[in-house]
């Protein structure tokens, strides 16, 4: 399997395409417009330049990686002849069901269909396809070319064979795959999101300020980044939506999103992507507040 398609050229999609292409795969990168594809390709080129500057790869590696990626604005054209599709489109259940229904119609029958969803049920997505045994979660972390983990999520019907293929393939990308089952939040977000929510609750209750909470967790627990800053990087809207999936999925009040998080999302304070969250990311403060590891 050396030819894959990636759906969505946003934050995660361009990172996934970059990672496959740098590992020697031919990648068809698909998005809805030429403008989104151009943004995605520009980001990949910029990230490769940074790797060249740090002498992690050569100019020739960069050129080869870029040459491995072809862009498409039509799914049907982009998924012909590929052994694997990794979907990384916007986190919206109706959109994902529509995409997988289409993939099921237009992909060769052996093609494995993977999704990078943070929270939507793999089993629910698989159920709209004609191959639920070949649908699997491939949950990469942001930024994809740097983060080692690939959380591999088995849907109810995913076979051992498909799971093993994806586990092995993840290793060829230089990732460390971890196999988990399909329940709300999987493992990563089931543990991370309650911690982030509790940090927001701690702020909301006036126990301590933003810097104090993050400093306690960084210096006291050896976390590389405080939970409130991490929430800003993930996007507060994304955190809210994952908590809602867990709250509804388990019917358990312990996952109820903090009212402060709900209010911030309603007010459009979404973190780094909107210029403000728990920290200020306006142009003048961005360098100060954006962690060096992501810059």
Ligand X SMILES: NC(=O)c1ccc[n+]([C@@H]2O[C@H](COP(=O)([O-])OP(=O)(O)OC[C@H]3O[C@@H](n4cnc5c(N)ncnc54)[C@H](O)[C@@H]3O)[C@@H](O)[C@H]2O)c1
| Alpha-carbon gap, residue 44 to 198, rounded angstroms | 35
Bridge partners of 86?
Answer: 6, 114
Known catalytic membership, residue 119: no
Evaluate whether 276 touches 283 at the Cβ level (below 8 Å): no
Q: Is residue 71 a contact residue for ligand X (CB under 6 A)?
A: no
- Return the number of other C-beta atoms located less than 10 Å from residue 65's C-beta: 25
Q: Which stretch binds ligand X (CB under 6 A): 116-124, 173-181, 192-200, 209-217?
A: 116-124
Buried b / exposed e over 164-181, threshold 16 CB at 10 Å, is ebbbebbeebebebbebe
Catalytic: which of 189, 197, 199, 241?
A: 189
How far is it, in rounded angstroms, from Cα 230 to Cα 91? 19
Closer to ligand X by Cβ: residue 10 or 83: 10
Q: How far is the CB of 205 from ligand X (least distance, A)?
A: 27
Q: Is 151 a catalytic residue?
A: yes
Q: Which stretch binds ligand X (CB under 6 A): 90-98, 153-161, 174-182, 277-285?
A: 90-98
155 belongs to the binding site for ligand X (CB under 6 A): no
Choosing from 88, 169, 231, 236, the residue that interacts with ligand X (CB under 6 A) is 88
Taking contact as CB under 6 A, which single stretch among the options 6-14, 150-158, 223-231, 263-271 is the one that binds ligand X?
Answer: 6-14
Q: Examine residue 36 and tell whether it contacts ligand X (CB under 6 A).
A: yes
Site for ligand X in 224-243 (CB under 6 A): 234
Give the nearest residue (CB) to ligand X. 10
Edge to edge, the sheet with strand 176-181 lists: 69-72, 26-30, 3-7, 84-87, 112-115, 135-140, 149-154, 176-181
What distance, in Å, lies between the first and last C-alpha atoms of the chain? 33
Instruction: Rule CB under 6 A: say whether 31 interacts with ligand X.
Output: yes
Structure tokens at 105: 């119609």
Neighbours of 81 (CB within 10 A): 12
User: Which one among 58, 90, 215, 248 touches ligand X, defined by CB under 6 A?
Assistant: 90
- Using rule CB under 6 A, residue 118 touches ligand X: yes
Work out how close the CB of 73 gets to ligand X at its nearest, in angstroms, rounded to a whole number: 8
Give the residue, chosen from 22, 28, 104, 117, that forms a contact with ligand X under the rule CB under 6 A: 117
Nearer to ligand X, 45 or 216 (CB): 45
Question: In whole angstroms, what is the distance from residue 114 CA to residue 63 CA?
Answer: 27
Verify binding: residue 10, ligand X, rule CB under 6 A. Answer: yes
Q: By CB under 6 A, tell whether 128 contacts ligand X.
A: no
Beta carbons within 10 angstroms of residue 201's beta carbon: 17
Q: Which residues are catalytic?
A: 118, 139, 151, 189
């Amino acid at each position: 399997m050396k030819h894959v398609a990636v759906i969505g050229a946003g934050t995660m999609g361009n990172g996934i395409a970059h990672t496959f292409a740098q590992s020697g795969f031919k990648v068809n990168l698909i998005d809805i417009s030429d403008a989104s594809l151009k943004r995605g390709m520009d980001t990949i080129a910029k990230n490769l330049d940074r790797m060249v500057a740090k002498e992690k790869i050569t100019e020739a590696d960069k050129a080869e990686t870029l040459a491995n990626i072809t862009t498409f604005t039509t799914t049907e054209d982009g998924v012909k002849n590929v052994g694997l599709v990794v979907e990384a489109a916007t986190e919206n259940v109706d959109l994902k069901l529509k995409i997988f229904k289409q993939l099921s119609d237009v992909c060769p029958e052996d093609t494995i269909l993977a999704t990078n969803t943070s929270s939507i049920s793999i089993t629910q997505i698989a159920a709209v396809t004609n191959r639920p045994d070949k649908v699997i979660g491939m949950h990469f972390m942001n930024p994809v070319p740097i983060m080692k983990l690939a959380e591999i999520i088995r849907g109810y019907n995913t076979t051992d064979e498909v799971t093993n293929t994806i586990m092995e393939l993840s290793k060829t990308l230089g990732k460390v795959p971890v196999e988990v089952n399909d329940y709300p939040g999987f493992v990563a977000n089931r543990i991370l999101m309650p911690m982030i929510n509790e940090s927001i609750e701690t702020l909301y209750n006036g126990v301590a300020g933003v810097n104090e909470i993050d400093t306690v967790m960084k210096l006291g627990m050896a976390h590389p980044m405080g939970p409130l800053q991490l929430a800003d990087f993930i996007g507060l809207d994304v955190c809210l939506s994952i908590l809602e999936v867990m709250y509804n999925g388990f019917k358990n009040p312990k996952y109820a999103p903090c009212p402060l998080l709900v209010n911030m999302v309603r007010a459009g304070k979404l973190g780094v992507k909107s210029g403000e969250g728990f920290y200020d990311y306006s142009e003048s403060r961005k360098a100060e507040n954006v962690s060096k590891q992501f810059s």
